[in-house]
């Protein structure tokens, strides 16, 4: 008995399915004279049990996210003064994370000043961290997913001239390397708008830190051309945080062959889920900025 992963069809943007994966079971003829490998059969049974356990856990997680979206979907009655104060609080809280390094994988050298730092934040991690710090003020718990998910929760697109401090700038671009697994929606990066010209706050460089940038516009050696989206956080200020992209449910599992295999160890599956949440979203530090 062999099991293989079924290739999922392309996502229909008008669909509403929340199916998180499927498997196809195929059979093969076995000679009656062939030796029986009890150990192999036992391993297959254990792997299948582990697969079923992961599927059950993933189903419960899907249900939990759907419930969270439903709870986060009801707008709350808030005065303009409350929302303006919350916007200001969001920016001030984010500014407090200046100097936090990007990710531990880039600071494994004990000589690095950020080796074993108490906290690391990439671009989407900064936004998620601030939103969770203020979850009582916002009235919702933002999901653990990356900048693609955050983009899906902010449906109000505005012009650069309409941006206010606290609004978010998202960068969409394909990778130059066609063999590299693309980001969901090709959404590569996110930064917090500060105003005062085109200044933003964000974790832009993999070997850098959370810092203020003179402009949201920059060039990466990994992807391009860049397309920028200016998104108002008004939806969040109203207490609403859910995906507004029809036919694209969260959690979204990137199509990784190893993760789809039923022979993947349980601990490896959990690690793959964590990688989805912390998927790298910024380019490498440019040579000129070393």
The mean per-residue pLDDT over the stretch 32-38 comes to 52
> What tens digit of pLDDT does each residue of 115-149 get?
888 899 999 999 999 999 999 999 999 998 899 99
- Residue 23 has a pLDDT of 34
Average pLDDT over every residue of 200-229: 94
Over residues 1-11, the mean pLDDT reads 40
**Does residue 3 or residue 89 have the better pLDDT?**
89
Over residues 2-16, mean pLDDT: 39
Per-residue pLDDT band for 45 (boundaries 50, 70, 90) equals confident
Buried b (16+ CB within 10 A) or exposed e, 218-248: bebeebeeeeeebbbbbbbbbbbbbbebeeb
Res. 46 pLDDT band, cuts 50 70 90: confident
Residue 39 has what pLDDT? 60
Query: Are 248 and 149 within 8 A, CB to CB?
Result: no
What is the predicted pLDDT for the residue at 47? 82
Q: Residue 150 — pLDDT band, cuts 50, 70, 90?
A: very high
pLDDT at 55: 77
How far from 51 is each of 17, 43, 48, CA to CA, in Å? 22, 12, 5
Beta bridge partners, 190, equal 170
- How high is the pLDDT of residue 56? 80
* Residues 25-34: tens digit of each pLDDT: 334 444 445 5
pLDDT in tens, 76-106: 788 999 999 999 999 999 999 999 998 888 8
- Residues of the chain with pLDDT > 70, as a percent, come to 66
The contacts of residue 234 (CB under 8 Å, 6+ apart) are 83, 156
Please give the pLDDT value at position 14: 39
More confident call, 74 vs 245: 245
* Residue-wise pLDDT tens digits, 231-242: 999 999 999 999
- For the chain, what is the mean pLDDT? 76
pTM of the model: 0.66
Average pLDDT value for residue range 137-163: 95
Would you say 281 and 188 are in contact if contact means Cβ atoms under 8 Å apart? yes
């Amino acid at each position: 008995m062999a099991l293989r992963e079924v290739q999922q069809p392309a996502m229909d943007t008008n669909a509403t399915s929340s199916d998180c994966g499927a498997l196809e079971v195929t059979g093969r003829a076995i000679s009656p004279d062939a030796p029986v490998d009890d150990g192999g059969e036992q391993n297959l049974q254990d792997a299948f049990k582990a697969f079923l356990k992961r599927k059950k856990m993933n189903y419960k997680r899907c249900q939990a996210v759907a419930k969270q979206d439903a709870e986060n979907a009801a707008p709350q009655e808030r005065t303009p003064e409350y929302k303006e104060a919350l916007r200001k609080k969001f920016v001030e809280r984010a500014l407090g994370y200046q100097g936090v390094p990007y990710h531990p994988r880039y600071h494994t050298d004990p000589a690095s000043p950020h080796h074993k730092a108490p906290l690391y934040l990439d671009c989407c991690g900064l936004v998620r961290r601030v939103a969770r710090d203020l979850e009582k003020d916002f009235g919702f718990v933002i999901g653990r997913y990356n900048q693609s998910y955050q983009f899906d929760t902010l449906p109000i697109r505005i012009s650069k001239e309409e941006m206010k401090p606290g609004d978010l700038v998202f960068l969409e671009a394909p990778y130059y390397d066609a063999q590299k697994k693309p980001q969901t929606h090709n959404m590569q990066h996110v930064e917090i708008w500060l105003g005062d010209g085109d200044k933003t706050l964000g974790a832009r460089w993999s070997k850098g830190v959370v810092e203020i940038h003179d402009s949201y516009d920059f060039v990466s050696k990994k992807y391009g051309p860049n397309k920028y989206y200016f998104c108002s956080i008004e939806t969040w200020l109203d207490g609403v945080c859910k995906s507004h992209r029809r036919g694209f449910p969260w959690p979204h599992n990137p199509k990784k062959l190893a993760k789809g295999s039923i022979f993947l160890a349980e601990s490896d599956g959990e690690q793959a889920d964590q990688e989805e949440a912390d998927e790298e979203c910024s380019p490498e530090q440019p040579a000129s900025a070393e």
